Amino acid sequence: MTAVARRNARHARGDASEVLPPPLVWTFDGPFERCLNDLEDSLRRALVLIGDVSRVALLIDVSLPALQARVRAGDRIQPAWGRFVERLSGYGLPEFPHVRPLRTPGPLATLVVAYRS
């Protein structure tokens, strides 16, 4: 039986032997470029803590009202976003983090790191 089949069988039986740890969550607010730098730093620390990038799923929530306020305050989205994407491509992640735009007010960005230990 393959590892995937064993895992699926455990899941179907309701076996709780593979309980996932709670996700790591950080919020960021302030100037857009500083938030991206802080988000990258937190992601790097999380990857060191977890130890294996193949076991992570990443989500970045972006509050559109907060982003709009930052743009009105003079922040530019580019080239900061492009540089951020370029830097993350060097981390060996299985895929780029899912970015979810939120229409609700809140912190500018929230990073959620889900992982298997």
Domain that holds residue 57: 27-115
Please tell me the total count of domains within the chain. 1
Question: 62 lies in a domain?
Answer: yes
Give per-residue pLDDT as tens, 16-48: 566 889 999 999 999 999 999 999 999 999 999
Pairing type for strands 56-63 and 98-102 reads: parallel
Judge whether 61 lies within some domain. yes
* 75 CB-near residues (< 8 Å, 6+ apart): 31, 32, 33
Is residue 63 helix, strand or coil? strand
Query: What's the CA gap between 60 and 117, in Å, rounded?
Result: 21
Whether residue 4 has pLDDT greater than 60? no
Query: What CATH number should be reported for the domain holding residue 78?
Result: 3.30.2320
6 assigned to some structural domain: no
In a domain, 15, yes or no: no
C-alpha to C-alpha distance for 50 and 95, rounded to whole angstroms = 17
Q: Please state the separation of Cα 82 from the chain's center in Å.
A: 16
Angstrom distance (rounded) from CA 57 to CA 112? 8
Is residue 103 included in any domain, yes or no?
Answer: yes
pLDDT tens per residue across span 85-103: 999 999 989 889 999 999 9
Residue 14 lies in a domain: no
* 8 is a domain residue: no
Angle at 56 between CA 55 and CA 60, to 5 degrees: 175
Of the two residues 15 and 108, the one the predictor is more confident about is: 108
Q: Answer yes or no: is 34 within a domain.
A: yes
